[in-house]
Homo-oligomer: A and B are copies of this chain.
Amino acid sequence: MSDWYEIDKPASAIELDDRGLQYGDGLFETIAIRRGEPRLWDLHYERLVRGCRRLGLMTPAVKVLRARLDAALANSDCDPMFSIAKIILTAGVTQRGYGRSMPADPRVFVGVFQASPVSRSSYVTGVATMLCSTRLAIGPATAGLKTLNRLEQVLARSECLPTGAFEGLTLDAEGRLVCGTMSNVFIVKDSRIRTPSLERCGVDGTMRRHLLALLDATELGCEIGSLSEDDLADADEVFLTNSQMGAIPVNRCGDLTWRVGPVTRQVLGLLADHGVLECRG
């Protein structure tokens, strides 16, 4: 079900003394593999570099990392046309205690997994979401990064599972809208697109970055700022982005409902024209 590799060799386990387990001292990336290629590779690598700088890890050279990913994909039984690769970096085994020398030389693991495409109808009619009661902590130390400290997402996502909601939206500790448990959120009001700032918490998704760059090059644009629950309630349209799915319309969140509107359809078309084929209408 999962194939893991460390330096091109199959791996299945990690030392109990590794700081990745002990403290979540590490980073990860989850990359969509499409037609044998890692989609948005540059953006994934760029986020990993930012994470390494923040956490005091040496950044693996892009060629080395890409070679390891390619080797894992070549060795894996998963469908190279449509699967998921996960890269995990940990700070490795060092002395006991929280502190370590910086920068540390990270261990790199690459896993390849089967992927399940989102149903075609979800892109057309949208998905149902819920508002999670788990709030995201506000603190800039690791905001935006995809670290191995993901307990808030575990708690929030686990709220969704029994409800059948496709995704859960999360607020920060002060009640601002931040993101979904596994996606970024955008709202549309009077044809203007807005998405929450991620300077204080949340994950800066690669599909969000890809879309923001595309929107900047059109007349649509996107405003990044502080969004409230009221902004969500007042929105004309709502959609999510995620590295595996591209963009997907939201048709409800609890009692709030939205139509799949023209701006969202334009966004899906834009992504479909720029490498995210799943969004093709």
Contact = CB atoms under 8 A, between A and B. Distances in A.
**Copies of the polypeptide in the assembly:** 2
A100 B154 contact: yes
A238 interface: no
A157 B21 contact: no
A144 interface: no
Contacts of A140: 135, 173
Contacts of A14: 13-14, 16, 21
A149 B148 CA distance: 8
Contacts of A16: 2, 4, 11-14, 88, 109, 111
Which interface class (under 10, 10 to 19, 20 to 34, 35 or more) fits A?
35 or more
Name the residue in A19, A99, A148 with the highest tally of chain B Cβ atoms < 10 Å from its Cβ.
A99
A196 to B, nearest CB: 16
A220 B210 CA distance: 59
In order of increasing CB-CB distance, the 6 nearest A-B pairs are A137-B139, A24-B24, A98-B157, A137-B137, A99-B157, A13-B13
